[in-house]
Chain A
Amino acid sequence: MNPWRHPGLWITLALTLGLGLWPVVLQKAALRETIFTILLSVALASSLNIILGYAGYISFGHVVFFGLGGYVGLYLMNTLGLSLWVALLAGGLAAALLAFLLGKAILRLRGAYFALATIGVNEAMRAFINNFAPFGGATGISLNFKVYQAYGGAANALWLVYTILLVTTLAMILISHIVKNSKFGLGLMAIREDEDAAEVMGVITPNAKTWAYVLSAVLPGMLGVLFYFKNGNIEPGDAFRLSSSIELLVMIMLGGAGTVLGPVIGAAGYQALRGFLLTNALFKNIQLSVAGILLLLIILFIPVGAVGWLRRRFPALRRLLP
């Protein structure tokens, strides 16, 4: 079937666009911030889904691309005075390059060995940036407030950042869908099911895996620039936080790995839930535990995630839930 005529894709895009336009219509900044967090997670989880959900490689180091992008972007804007657009491009490129080099090396490892290696990469990167003087070492990089002037002042810059994020998120969903319905995507899924068999069937697995890794890294690199531009400063501890990567895994798990809609629903659901728990008086003190218990229940009883469960329970919905 022509992937463009898949109704599920348009439903997903419409849902995301509707969510994204909500604060624009109401012109409410607080709502925009909430949706910003959700959209960011949707885009990051969708990008991780390419290597994790399609190719079946569990990465604990996805935030490395986000953090590296942020560092490169802020360095270019702050130290060299380049514009946000150049920084976005450079952040994406830097992440892609890192993914390419890493992919050549560690994608040879399988299963848990790969997962462990990604932890190692994350920690090595953080420790390195912590000592890397051009990126400010432990102090990190701070933007001068004046940079927002070039984008019509701070208030406008925030809306601009939000718009770019919305467009990027929609693009990520589209990419995720196209990959899934392409020959390349089928090759990745063959690797997920049985890598040796896929090799025999003619999938050039090292190349396929490397390109999947690169593809999953580009957007996080750009989003890192965007996020830290909005944030105003970046520090190694925050930029390479292992638990941020694990949160992304949780989101994919909640929604359903290997589906287009799954990471979208999982990320939105997870962030909405965390937001609720954090601001709710009853759960505020034990919100982490409550989130843990919910996660455990879902893993134990709905291991295929929300989308997988719906697809199994209601086969008629399959065409609508990509």
Chain B
Amino acid sequence: MNTRFAALFVWIFVISLLLPTCGTPAAVAPSQAKEVKAVIGFTASQTGKLNVESTRQTNGLNLWMKQVNEAGGVKLKDGSVVKFESKFYDDESNSARVQELYTRLVTEDNASFLISPYSSGLADAAAVIAEQYGKIMITTGAASDSTYKKGYTLVYQAYTPASKYLTGAIDLLKSTDPAVKKIAIVHENDKFSTDVSNALNDYAKAQGYEVALFEGYDTGTTDFAPFINKIQEVAPDAILGGGHFQDGSTFAKQLYEKKVALKFVALLVAPPEPTFAEIGEASLGIIGPSQWEPQVVFNADSAQKAGLSFYGPAAADFVSAYKASANGEEPSYHAAGGYIAGLILQKAIEEAGTLDTQAVKAVLDKMDVMTFFGHIRFEAGADSHGLQTGHSMVYIQWQNDDAGKLVKEVVWPAEGATSGIKYPIR
């Protein structure tokens, strides 16, 4: 009963949504038009360390595909209708097989378009294949800037790049407490977090901050005690950095247990995850950058204000559809990222009216649109072609609501904030 109700709900909102926004495609009865299949190829990390985030991303992508197909597919210029089909393999969270699998997707499974694996390292490996075989690839869950500085022409980034992940946190700190000048940057020593922290370091210094400690820790670190001792020696007011979920939540927990006196903590990746609250009190006050949060509303109004058109479902509709499809799980930004990758392709194919790579590429190069995920625009110049230039991060903070329950509030940028910042945190 429950699932049937949910399915009905999904149906109703999908139809109500696609009718006004996409115009004709949904109105055309699929039986009248010639149907063509477009295979969307990707690899997912079903095993290995990236399994959790990757699975969410895949769920989001699958939801998009189900919705677009159920709504009748995408109509092309020649009158035929495209229905999408996914083809994917397990990459084991390991770049060793990514290239073999992507080559197979392109040559054996005849994928028309590619979506990247989760994580910058794997996406980097896949991007080479996409470019070598002349296929468009939308990268999602892959934020490193470096992928787009390697001369690719067909790779497009859905996420805000790593270099802009934490710069907003500096702006937030500056607007909250201009007196604070001494910060520490502590980050995981991997490609993504290092890219983030190097950009952050430059930005912080340019803003007049003293970076008292700038250091990396190894991937997989569980014991932050030596680090925390080091932090206490320099006694900064704020800590920025982090890496991925496990190390970020552990770091936050141990900072709390060791009673480090801090006014401001902003960490990568971990805080926006709903499960971050499992560390209890220790999560209170921790700030994290997020690609997307359900509370931040981008809609036709905000699009109009920005002089853009709005495309795709509203955030609330995405959230409820995702919950219905994933056993009630709240969508994290990884899930939204998977969905948006599909939506970007859909929009580009619709406008191009063909599945031809060059025509779709031409549309993507010029794309400038607002979605529930935020503003989407790509760098078209050769230097960093495909880099995301429209989208920006939001910053969340874990706070206590009136009942004393831990809740995630958006605290930056100011125009999208759902609550004031809790400052200093302890």
List chain A positions with a Cβ less than 8 A from chain B: 28-30, 32-34, 36-37, 127, 130, 137-140, 142-146, 148, 154-155, 158, 230-233, 235, 237-238, 241, 244, 278-279, 284-285, 287-288
Contacts and interface: CB of A to CB of B under 8 A. Distances in A.
Nearest to A34: B100
Interface in B319-348: none
Contact of B194 (A34, A139, A232): A139
Contacts of B131: 145, 154
B195 interface: yes
Interface stretch (B64-72, B121-129, B168-176, B260-268): B121-129
Interface string B357-370: 00000000000000
Interface in B85-105: 89-90, 92, 94-97, 99-100, 103-104
Given A137-B194, A138-B194, A284-B90, A29 B103 contact: yes
A139 B191 contact: yes
B247 to A, nearest CB: 13
Contacts of A148: 132
B35 interface: no
B99 A230 contact: yes
A285 B46 contact: yes
A230 B127 CA distance: 12
Contacts of B96: 238, 244
B107 interface: yes
Contact of B100 (A37, A127, A144): A37
A235 B191 contact: yes
B104 A33 contact: yes
B230 interface: no
A53 B216 CA distance: 41
Given A33-B103, A232-B127, 19 more contacts: A30-B106, A30-B108, A33-B99, A33-B100, A130-B218, A138-B191, A138-B194, A139-B191, A142-B150, A144-B151, A145-B128, A145-B150, A145-B151, A158-B132, A232-B125, A233-B128, A235-B121, A235-B191, A279-B89
Contacts of B194: 137-139
B103 A233 contact: no
19 contacts: A29-B106, A29-B107, A30-B108, A34-B104, A37-B97, A137-B189, A138-B189, A138-B194, A139-B195, A144-B151, A232-B125, A232-B127, A233-B121, A233-B128, A238-B121, A278-B89, A284-B90, A285-B46, A285-B47
Interface in B72-94: 89-90, 92, 94
A139 B191 CA distance: 4
A144 B384 CA distance: 12
B46 A232 contact: no
B191 A155 contact: no
A22 B216 CA distance: 47
A123 to B, nearest CB: 11
Contacts of A32: 103
B198 to A, nearest CB: 9
Contacts of A29: 103, 106-107, 133
A140 B100 contact: no
Nearest to B108: A30
A231 B125 contact: yes
Interface residues of B, number: 38
Contacts of B133: 29, 155
A32 B129 CA distance: 13
Given A139-B194, A145-B128, A284 B107 contact: no
Contacts of A34: 100, 104
A231 B99 contact: yes
Given A28-B107, A33-B103, A33-B104, A238 B150 contact: no
Contacts, number: 95
Nearest to B94: A238
B130 to A, nearest CB: 10
Given A231-B95, A235-B121, A238-B94, A139 B103 contact: no
Contacts of A37: 97, 100
A181 to B, nearest CB: 34
Nearest to B187: A138
Contacts of B189: 130, 137-138
A28 B109 CA distance: 12
Interface in B126-144: 127-128, 131-133
A151 B5 CA distance: 58
Given A154-B132, A233-B125, A237-B219, A140 B97 contact: no
Contacts of A237: 190, 219
Nearest to A234: B95
Given A138-B190, A231-B125, A278 B103 contact: no
B302 interface: no
A232 B121 contact: no
Contacts of B90: 278, 284, 287
Interface in B185-227: 189-191, 194-195, 216, 218-219
Contacts of A130: 189, 218
A144 B127 CA distance: 12
A144 B148 CA distance: 10
Contacts of A231: 95, 99, 125, 128
Given A138-B194, A139-B146, A146 B219 contact: no
A142 B47 contact: no
Contacts of B146: 139, 142
Nearest to A138: B189
B152 interface: yes
B128 A288 contact: no
Nearest to B144: A139
Contact of A138 (B97, B125, B147, B216): B216
Contacts of A285: 46-47
Nearest to B91: A278
B328 to A, nearest CB: 23
> Top 9 A-B pairs ranked by shortest CB distance?
A145-B151, A154-B132, A232-B128, A30-B107, A33-B103, A138-B189, A30-B108, A29-B107, A33-B100
Nearest to A286: B47
A29 B133 CA distance: 10
